Structures are given as C-alpha cells and as structure tokens.
C-alpha cells in the first residue's frame, strides 16, 4: 500500500503529535494508520483538556517529563499566536489556572503540604481558605472547613479541536505525499525482516505499510492488542503492560447556566489517578472545567471493563451525585442537558507511560500508556520519540525502556 520513513499506528493525540514533530523537525516522511474512520475515536475524544502541573506529585517519576511537556505546550501556543491566530479559537487554549480543592479535615493539611512541595519544585501556587475560594469561584461550595490550592499557571485545551488542528497542520506540513493518513485500517500484524533483523512496517486489513526507519505503536489502550500479537509471534513477554481503563466525562450543556472561572479538581482525585485503589466501585472523583463553547465538563470515572465503551447510567448518576456535593447547582440540572462521553485510558500498572524502543525488535517503538495525562504529555512524548529515533540527545530528562 505504500512506503514511508516512519509508520505510526493510531491517530489519537499521541500518534498525531509524533507525526507533527517528525514533519516539523526532520525531512522524514510519515504515514499514520488508524483503525477508525476518523480522528478522536479513542480516549482523546473523551479528554477533558486540562494541561496542569498543580495536581501532580513532584516525587513521581513523571514529574520532570510532565513539566517539559507542558513547557512544549506553551511553546506550541506561542507559535500559534505568533502566526496571528488566536489559540483560543483554534485549540480552545485558555490560561484559566486551576483549583485543587477539599472540604476539609485531614485532607486540608495534605493539600497544604502538597502545595509547598509543588511550590518548592517551581510551580507557583496559593493556599485559599473556604471563603476566598468561594468568592473566587462562586459555583464551588466547600463548607467552613474547606480549602483550595490555586495554581495560576495551569491551562486548558479543547482536546478535539486541538487534535483537529494538529491534523490540519500535519497535512499542510507534508504535501506531495510526505504525510499520509489512512483511516479504517486496523493494524493486524507486523512486517519483520529476519534477514535485516529490523521492523519494516505494519500489516493492516487494507494492506501493508512499509517503513524505512521506524514503526511506532501509539494505539492507546488498544496497544495491548498489538503487544499481544508481538508477544505471541516473537515469544516476548510484553503483556499485560497496558490495560483499558474506562472513563466517563459528562458534558452539561451550556444552557444549564453553570459557569466556572477556573479548572477545578477535588484533591482526592490525585491519589486515585494512577492507583488501582479508588473512592468507590466506579472510581469516581470530581473534576470540573468549562469548554470554549461554555459547556460544563464534569469528570470522571475509572473502571476496568475491558474494551466496552457503552455509557453506564449508574456511573453517570455517581459522577453527578459526587459532584453535586461541591457544585450544588448540579442537582437541579435536567438529565436531558447532560451528555456522556466515554473513553478508554491506556493504563499501565506502574503509572508511567511506556515510551521508547522495544529493544528486542529494532525499528519498533512504543508510545502509549498515558492513562489520564495523555493530553498533557503528548508533546513531551513526541519529543522523546523523535529525539530517540533521530539519535539526538533529548531535552526530555527521563527515558523509559519498554
């Protein structure tokens, strides 16, 4: 079906961002092969859009990588601005800042400690008591013991608009066949050359796609299927390193009249995001943001339910029930104004994405397993993969072997 320097499996934010960086920074040609008939078919389409540091733990293995990726987002936005285009209009970019909140008790102290730790690691923040938080964010009701940490530098994107923008840019950067997208072509296998001991492309339902330089698996939660194919064929132990973790996000129509000045997240969310331990059977913890159209986005759940993406009424009710404790106005929103989105986060047991070469199979790279932070980490991932393949010393500090 064709040949290019780089062949990428999966047109989510990770695959398209990697393609974008190759097109911007190298002369290599790129083909993206996608199972669905459109972009945003996976977790990316459900993503809430926060690009935040405040909720991260500086002790985590991914801290420096996250900070680098967020810096790359700022550079990306600066370039959009410099070209005379409004990043709000194109990718829904807003410098809203974020609020990490608690209703009090022991969590207040933990939040305070976290704020100090994050500040010591270079992220500016302020501790707000309940009154200050309520004045700044009237929709959020925390009670007399409540508190919030405010991180002014945190930002938001509209995930779908951003991926569309990156896709358009890829098309503009790669005319004359340097960039190709192939939709409706699930990858079913790998083209391995035993003579060269090198991965030479991907097999799909619609034919083979040959690569001269690198094959990259960035199929989100479905990367697990492709790793299973590799494990069986090459007798490797690559499973179960990635698992689908289902998430619901509720879009509350703007006509319901809910408004926020900041991105918001309950502090308890930070301890459940990378853990198997969750607050309830559906893994619900509250995050709320407003999208560029004015809709109120309410997250989210975390469940291991295989590849089922059907919205679940019980989960929707639990998200609403929990969020109404903090945003009481939600209790009077008619259900007809609430529309669920679901996505499968690519979960890894260690809470760290898998980015880098599969060393047993030269020419093959993995960029997946970003769980709930794939939007934030997309540009850092692209940098890490491109620098690795181009044999540049990476400005990204950590490299993970797969």
Ligand X SMILES: Cc1cc2nc3c(=O)[nH]c(=O)nc-3n(C[C@H](O)[C@H](O)[C@H](O)COP(=O)(O)OP(=O)(O)OC[C@H]3O[C@@H](n4cnc5c(N)ncnc54)[C@H](O)[C@@H]3O)c2cc1C
Binding site for ligand X (CB under 6 A): 9-15, 33-36, 41-44, 46-50, 186-187, 218-222, 247, 249, 299-300, 343, 345-346, 368, 370-376
Residue 146 vs 263, nearer CB to ligand X: 263
Other Cβ atoms less than 10 A from the Cβ of 208: the count is 15
Smallest separation, CB 346 to ligand X (Å): 5
Residue with tokens 């996976």: 42
Smallest separation, CB 163 to ligand X (Å): 8
Residue 10 vs 87, nearer CB to ligand X: 10
Residue 32 vs 108, nearer CB to ligand X: 32
Smallest separation, CB 215 to ligand X (Å): 12
Smallest separation, CB 195 to ligand X (Å): 26
Residue with tokens 């960035």: 218
Strand partners, 157: none
DSSP category for residue 215: E
Q: What is the C-alpha separation between 365 and 367, in angstroms, rounded? A: 7
Residue 343 vs 357, nearer CB to ligand X: 343
Smallest separation, CB 289 to ligand X (Å): 8
DSSP category for residue 192: E
Smallest separation, CB 287 to ligand X (Å): 7
Smallest separation, CB 285 to ligand X (Å): 11
Whether the ω angle into residue 240 lies within 30 degrees of 0, i.e. cis, is: yes
Show the CA angle centred on residue 286, arms to residues 283 and 290, nearest 5°.
Answer: 135
Q: What is the C-alpha separation between 340 and 84, in angstroms, rounded? A: 35
Residue 256 vs 344, nearer CB to ligand X: 344
Residue 127 vs 253, nearer CB to ligand X: 253
DSSP category for residue 266: E
C-alpha atoms less than 13 angstroms from C-alpha of 349 in its C-beta half-sphere = 6
Smallest separation, CB 198 to ligand X (Å): 21
Strand partners, 217: 9, 366
Residue 97 vs 374, nearer CB to ligand X: 374
Residue 174 vs 374, nearer CB to ligand X: 374
CB-count exposure of residue 257 (10 Å: 0-12, 13-18, 19+): middle
Smallest separation, CB 83 to ligand X (Å): 24
Q: What is the C-alpha separation between 43 and 348, in angstroms, rounded? A: 15
Closest C-alpha among 220, 226, 169 to residue 203: 226
Q: E strands, 276-394, where?
A: 287-290, 296-299, 338-347, 354-357, 364-368
Residue 130 vs 341, nearer CB to ligand X: 341
Chain centre distance of CA 89: 20
């Amino acid at each position: 079906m064709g040949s290019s320097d780089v062949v990428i499996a999966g047109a989510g934010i990770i695959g398209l961002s990697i393609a974008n960086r190759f097109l911007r920074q190298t002369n290599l040609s790129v083909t993206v092969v996608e199972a669905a008939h459109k972009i945003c078919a996976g977790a990316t389409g459900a993503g809430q859009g926060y690009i935040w540091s405040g909720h991260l733990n500086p002790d985590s293995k991914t801290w420096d990588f996250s900070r680098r990726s967020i810096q790359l987002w700022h550079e990306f936005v600066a370039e959009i601005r410099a070209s005379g285009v409004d990043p709000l209009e194109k990718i829904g970019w807003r410098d809203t800042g974020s609020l990490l909140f608690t209703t009090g008790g022991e969590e207040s102290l933990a939040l305070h400690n976290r704020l100090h730790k994050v500040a010591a690691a270079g992220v500016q923040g302020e501790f707000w008591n309940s009154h200050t938080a309520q004045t700044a964010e009237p929709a959020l009701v925390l009670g007399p013991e409540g508190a919030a940490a405010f991180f002014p530098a945190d930002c938001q994107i509209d995930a779908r608009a951003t991926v569309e923008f990156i896709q358009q840019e890829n098309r503009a950067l790669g005319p004359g066949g340097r960039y190709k997208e192939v939709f409706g072509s699930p990858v079913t296998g790998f083209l391995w050359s035993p003579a060269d001991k090198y991965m030479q492309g991907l097999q799909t339902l619609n034919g083979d796609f040959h690569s001269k330089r690198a094959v990259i698996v960035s199929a989100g939660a479905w990367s697990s299927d492709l790793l299973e194919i590799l494990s069986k064929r090459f007798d490797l132990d690559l499973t179960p390193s990635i698992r689908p973790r289902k998430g619901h996000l509720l879009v509350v129509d703007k006509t319901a009249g809910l408004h926020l000045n900041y991105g918001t997240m309950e502090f308890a969310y930070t301890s459940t995001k990378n853990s198997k331990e969750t607050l309830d059977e559906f893994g619900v913890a509250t995050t709320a943001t407003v999208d560029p159209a004015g809709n109120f986005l309410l997250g989210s759940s975390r469940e291991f339910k295989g590849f089922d993406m059907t919205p679940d009424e019980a989960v929707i009710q639990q998200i609403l029930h929990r969020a109404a404790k903090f945003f009481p106005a939600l209790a009077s929103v008619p259900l007809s104004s609430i529309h669920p989105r679901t996505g499968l986060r690519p979960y890894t047991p260690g809470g760290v994405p898998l980015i880098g070469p599969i060393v047993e199979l030269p020419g093959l790279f993995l960029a997946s397993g970003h769980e709930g932070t794939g939007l934030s980490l997309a540009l850092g991932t692209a940098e890490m993969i491109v620098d690795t393949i181009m044999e540049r010393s990476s400005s990204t500090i950590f490299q993970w072997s797969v």
